[in-house]
Amino acid sequence: MPFVSIRITREGNTAEQKAQVIREVTETLQRVLDKAPEKTHIVIEEVDTDNWGYAGETTTELRRKSAGN
């Protein structure tokens, strides 16, 4: 039973976009690894940009700085 966890920042991703990701990841696992779609689980976790960071700063702060340029 495949389980795929996808984490993205919460920024207005639509239900339709997330459904497409789930559908296409499921199709890829079926096509490439011959995994049954009815046994494939996909979880999308959306994380606030205040809770996601890199380069020592939050994504919120990095984007704020980038917008100021």
Range of the structural domain that residue 22 is part of: 3-67
CA separation, residue 17 to residues 21, 55, 56 (Å) = 6, 28, 30
Tell me the residue type at 21.
Answer: V
User: What is the structure's pLDDT at 68?
Assistant: 82
Query: Which of 2, 4, 21, 30 is an active site residue?
Result: 2
Q: How many domains does the chain have?
A: 1
Distance CA 42, CA 30 (A): 13
User: What is the structure's pLDDT at 25?
Assistant: 98
37 has catalytic annotation = no
Q: Domain holding 48: CATH number?
A: 3.30.429.10
Q: What is the pTM of this model?
A: 0.85
User: Could you report the per-residue pLDDT of 25-51, keeping only the tens digit for each?
Assistant: 999 999 999 999 999 999 999 999 999
